[in-house]
Structure 1
Amino acid sequence: MKLLAGLILSLLFPLVLPLQAYGWQHHAGDSGGTKFSELSQITADNVDQLDIAWTYDTGETVKPGQSGGKTSFEPTPILLPPEAGGHLVFCTAFGRAIALDPATGEERWIYDPKVDRNGHSNICRGVSWWKDPRMENQAHCANRIIWGTRDRRLISVDTRTGTACAGFGQNGELQLDVKAEEAQVPGGIKTSSPVVIAGGVLMIGAAVQDFSHANAPTGKVKAFDVRTGEARWTFSSIPTDPNDPAASSWPKNPRLVSGAANAWAPMSADEELGLLYVPTSSPSPDYYGAARPGDNRYANSLVALNIATGEVAWHFQFVHHDLWDYDTPAQPVLTDIERNGKTIAAVIQVTKQGFVFAFNRLTGDPVYPIQEQPVPQGAVEGEWLSPTQPFPEESLQLLDTHITAEDAWGFTFWDEGKCRDLIGSLRSDGIFTPLSTERTLYMPSAMGGANWGGIAVDQKQQIGVVNLNNLATIGQLVPTVAGKGGETHAGVGSLLAKMEGTPYAMKMGNLGSPLGLPCNKPPWGKLVAVDLKKGEVLWESTLGSVHDMGPVTAPFEISLGSPNLGGPLIIGSGLVFIGATLDKRFRAFDLKTGEKLWTHKLPFDGNANPMTYQQGDRQYVVIATGGSYFLSKMTGRESGNTLVAFALPR
């Protein structure tokens, strides 16, 4: 009988495996954000044969300056299981959800929420799937796609047909209270990341316009009944209750002087523990905090919330009293870490500072040592500064953050000399140097370090891989009349941002040479693997070419590293796939060694996280190409809206 039972299980197992191993049912592969797949058809031995299988263009291409031109095409699709329709589903910059045939890229359905395209930047990085356990599988809306739009609507549609789920909100749409959220900044709040669904609860963060107003919209996480849209709870990262333990780190009535501290990056959920992990951003105003003295907890933090109630279980703050726009930018990654002979259920957080932190995801206890260290002081009159900031051990500080004139770099002696003079003219005391009315070098820039692409983790190998920017910025606080601030844009490569409600505007530009390239030593973009057991770097590889960044495009790659937005994907055969760079390239690296194994040209920059799935007997790797509006604005890059699928030849 035992033999027969074992035989039956062995026959059933392959039927169960594809749902787990062959699909990609969450924005980052799973609810813990690992960006890992067990698929292994594509290997180091055959990756050189990988080629484009199909492409799909959304037809939404616009140029900066045109109506709706502030767009970024950055989604990661999900693959629905067969019982939910088997579609590949993603969202566009204007919030349309599109379902495709995963084998051919042919269109199956489109849902258009008809978002007003005129306004602040348009981004949608992903949709979420939910199966209603109370309904028969074939029933309408038994399986749903749910996502948020720029104008703060939640949309719920049937996965098979793309038609609205009438029982959710009003005919499948739930309009959040935009007027209350926006406060005095119309259009200043939107949704860009996928919603999180766990325990029957739908949870959503918000993206808030940077650099605009002192009292920007506040960063609240909101929870709803996933079936009906009925409100469950709200968490405010700027405490409204004076009895909240974090309230002492703010002035009285903090919402009168500050906002933001929002969760614009993707969140993660551990349904078994009943916890939601929320990465929060900097409070407003971003670069001047005299009116918000204190550490400003829960801003710049990882906050673990009870999924059922929204109550804080634990939190850790990565930046006290942020003055550098060092948001917590990436999805927290839930994985097991083997450390000192023990297996720890951990959550990993990478930061714009280029730091790697990890915590016990139940208790918040650090997995690797963290130390408060003294940081540079000296800011504008009236500013409040934290005397220390938290640092992980040196092996998990992935960037060199102190640049001196001796570190200047150039293609020639001439531009190196220009860079040396430029760096020597700037205030530069290392990471966490506060901005002042002097021109100040701060490193890394507000792009990071790490950004929303985050870290990918192979739990079996105990390796995490993250892409980093290695770039510095010149910043300066510019006095303004009556706190009206300045213009929001001042030419390619520079920014003059208003901070209304403060006596300053923020002027920012690249630390660049007359040739248009960075003044610090390359690589300016890199891919780093971390040994999670040891808590140290396993390897580093240059990521990207600058052949398309200078005043003249070179006919060959110049592998000095590129600014990057987007993230990595790890597959079971030990390959790491990544786009992200400003050179229209998609690359594969060896997970164990960091060796670059494959490069393919893309239609546009691939500023998105790739994903993978198996359809029939073929493994596909898919990436959205179209570029980032933020990078296009700063560098003049071309934009587009094309999804590209790669596979081995038949």
Structure 2
Amino acid sequence: MTTARARPLALGLAFGFGAALSGCGGDRAAGGTDEPARMTTAYAGDDWPVYGGDPGGLKYSALTDIDRSNVADLEAAWVWETGEEPIPDAASPIQGERVAPGAFEATPIVINDTMWLSTPYSRVVALDAETGEEYWSYDPKAWEWGNLHRGCRFCHRGIAQWSDGSERRIFLNSRWRLIALDAATGEPIPGFGDGGEVDLTEGLAWDANRLHISNTSPAVVYDDIVIVGSGVPDNRIYRHNPPGDVQAFDVRTGALRWTFHTIPKEGEYGVETWEDESWSYTGSANVWAPFSLDPERGLLYLPVSTPNNDFYGGHRRGQNLFAESLVCLDARTGERVWHFQTVHHGLWDYDLPAPPGLVTIEVGGREIDAVVAVGKTAFTYVLDRETGEPVWPVEERAVPESTVPGEVPWPTQPFPTRPAPFSRQGITEDDLIDFTPELRAEALDVFRRHRTGPIFTPPSVEGTIMMPGLIGGAGWGGAAIDPESGHMFVKAYDDPFLARVAEAEPGAGDADYLPNFASTLSVAGGLPILKPPYGTITAIDLNTGDHLWQRPFGDDSAIREHPALAGLDLPPMGGTPQSHGTTSGPLATAGG
């Protein structure tokens, strides 16, 4: 399966590294192992060996050739296209949807002049990083099982690699499979699992519907262990939805080494936070975002997502550990070291959507090895990475009650006192669009027909205007951190959603209320109800917790050119056409 199915070109990938790659040097075959590129805490330089550049997920390059004086002069060095397009003859379990590639969201890894990447259809491709020449392509044929039950459908964000100095392996986690490939040839490793792959459903707490399991983010490799999370649709309510277990396997044999239950089982720490034994049938609380790793301490950091269902939790009363928590594990054993829950009894799909960053900061004259997570909540959670203790106080504050029968929200939620939120939280009339009296009146009408309030106002039958929306705050692109200065750069969405639930019809699900699907709020046939900006980038000094600056980021031409805004002198709008927000994420460099 190392020859890609022929398809017309549709998606593209362009690189303008220029001088940044000119120092890689040497003519090495794909998968060359002259330099093992083991996982250390060194920052990314000529190589980019893991998804975030380094195991700590900083998204930082120590290279200085590209800086503010020449970045505007960059040109594409080469272009490679996936060739993927819709497959009209493929079956799909989602009625009325054809199988089609989603957005290209992968971050390649680069070692010794070879680049490996994954495509929306989960193909793995090896390229010459200097020329774009394709060495090989492996197709797991993930599309044969039809569309995926997740928002981005077919998308994939990267792969992982392991080397012992004599051989190198590429790990692809696609749908419910973990596949090991020879980095030099793209052929599956015969001795790994069954013919080169492991079935990730075999070790789960209960039999799960494979079509409801997926993977978008790369695995993490620690010594001789490869560790994977999963993607599970959390907008479905039925008993025994796939659990969000995190699993670790032997890199050579594929044998299961350990499993961590993100929803505790009987006798495990935190099981009492699931009332009425709801732990025994509740699924999700998976880790769909990438992990981060401190290889020197052997600590793994999991950004855990919401349990099912996103917007109704009457069937899972309690605090619901370890959902929407940052969890620290012993990477070798899978044992919990500490946890910090960012949302109690989640009702808003406020996942931790991105890998946390590991950075050393100086606070009040004291050096702290910190872990920094950004949330869809627009909060930044800065914790001691060894103990999980917050660097600055986090206050438990009372939040609004629910109006939905059977729903019992947790009475308080954690509010970090520093840094300040990097995106709007909650919504008032002062936030509404006011470019013209007509737009203002329409926005007020929408606003007054729904429930409104501060962040953590629960969903409702009439619909609650939720801000941040379910895509953030921070999105899957997360933040980048300059370890030299301790400055963090985070992109954010400013786009409210309507969180609605509806009483379930008999037999419709295992809950009294089902989500009536959150949706964006607009006026005049497509304009956001809020004033701009709709996307921002914020710089935060992690040594002090202060915001350094915030600017609108991006520009959505569909908004700026909307007929209702014709002839107006508009401010910077921010955002992108996809969602009035910003996609992907930032990168920090030593070049500034």
Q: Which amino acid aligns with 2:549?
A: W
Q: Which amino acid aligns with 2:262?
A: S
Q: Secondary structure at the residue paired with 1:461?
A: coil
Q: 1:220 aligns with which of 245, 254, 258?
A: 245
Structure 2 CA distance for partners of 1:161 and 1:232, relative to 1, 3 Å: same
1:310 aligns with 2:334: yes
Structure 2 CA distance for partners of 1:461 and 1:388, relative to 1, 3 Å: same
Matches within 5 A, 1:153-552: 153-177=177-201, 183=207, 185-215=209-239, 216-242=241-267, 244-393=268-417, 395-482=419-506, 484=508, 501-549=511-559
- 1:88-137 deviations in whole A, cap 9, x for unaligned? 1101112110011111212111111222341312222101111125xxx3
Structure 2: 5+ residue stretches without partners: 1-33, 89-95, 576-580
Distance 1:529 1:183 in 2: 45
Aligned partner of 1:600 in structure 2 is none
Which deviates more, 210-219 or 260-269? 210-219
- 1:465-491 deviations in whole A, cap 9, x for unaligned? 00000111122212231151xxxxxxx
Aligned partner of 1:628 in structure 2 is none
Q: CA deviation at 1:257?
A: 4.3
Q: Secondary structure at the residue paired with 1:530?
A: strand
Structure 2 CA distance for partners of 1:66 and 1:103, relative to 1, 3 Å: farther
1:561 aligns with 2:567: no
Aligned partner of 1:147 in structure 2 is 172
Distance 2:340 2:483 in 1: 23
Q: CA deviation at 1:297?
A: 0.6
Distance 2:477 2:585 in 1: 4
Which of the pair has the greater relative contact order for Cα pairs under 8 Å at 6+ separation? 1
CA contact (8 A) 1:143 1:159 kept: yes
With the length of structure 1 as denominator, give the TM-score of the two structures. 0.78
1:91 aligns with 2:118: yes
Q: Which amino acid aligns with 1:71?
A: G
CA contact (8 A) 1:405 1:421 kept: no
CA contact (8 A) 2:503 2:512 kept: no
Distance 2:534 2:217 in 1: 27
1:119 aligns with 2:144: no
Q: Which amino acid aligns with 2:156?
A: C
Structure 2 CA distance for partners of 1:420 and 1:367, relative to 1, 3 Å: same
CA contact (8 A) 1:213 1:501 kept: yes
Structure 1: 5+ residue stretches without partners: 1-14, 485-498, 575-650
CA contact (8 A) 1:80 1:129 kept: no
1:110 aligns with 2:137: yes
Which deviates more, 185-194 or 249-258? 249-258
Q: CA deviation at 1:45?
A: 1.2
Structure 2 CA distance for partners of 1:252 and 1:232, relative to 1, 3 Å: farther
CA contact (8 A) 2:402 2:408 kept: no
Q: Secondary structure at the residue paired with 2:211?
A: coil
Distance 1:63 1:182 in 2: 33
The runs of 4+ residues in structure 1 deviating greater than 6 Å are: 15-19, 63-66, 553-558
Aligned partner of 1:615 in structure 2 is none
Q: Secondary structure at the residue paired with 1:79?
A: strand
Distance 1:411 1:545 in 2: 17
- 1:267-320 deviations in whole A, cap 9, x for unaligned? 011121111101111111111111111100111000111112111100000000
Distance 2:252 2:110 in 1: 21
Q: Secondary structure at the residue paired with 1:59?
A: coil
- 1:539-586 deviations in whole A, cap 9, x for unaligned? 101011121347859999973011122110111111xxxxxxxxxxxx
Structure 2 CA distance for partners of 1:48 and 1:87, relative to 1, 3 Å: same
1:80 aligns with 2:111: yes
Which deviates more, 444-453 or 106-115? 106-115
CA contact (8 A) 2:234 2:306 kept: no
Identity %: 38
CA contact (8 A) 1:36 1:570 kept: yes
Distance 2:87 2:532 in 1: 31
Q: CA deviation at 1:386?
A: 1.0
- 1:423-457 deviations in whole A, cap 9, x for unaligned? 12221121000011122111110000001111100
- 1:164-219 deviations in whole A, cap 9, x for unaligned? 22221123222222695784645111111100000311100000013122332110
Structure 2 CA distance for partners of 1:559 and 1:155, relative to 1, 3 Å: same
CA contact (8 A) 2:44 2:53 kept: no
Q: Which amino acid aligns with 1:571?
A: T
CA contact (8 A) 1:212 1:500 kept: no
Distance 2:585 2:384 in 1: 24
- 1:46-104 deviations in whole A, cap 9, x for unaligned? 122112221111111239966422633211000022xxxx3111011121100111112
Q: Secondary structure at the residue paired with 2:587?
A: strand
CA contact (8 A) 1:286 1:324 kept: yes
Aligned partner of 1:613 in structure 2 is none
Q: CA deviation at 1:536?
A: 1.3
Q: Secondary structure at the residue paired with 2:45?
A: helix
CA contact (8 A) 1:483 1:502 kept: no
Distance 1:19 1:296 in 2: 36
Structure 2 CA distance for partners of 1:267 and 1:249, relative to 1, 3 Å: same
Q: Which amino acid aligns with 1:444?
A: P
Matches within 5 A, 1:38-49: 38-49=62-73
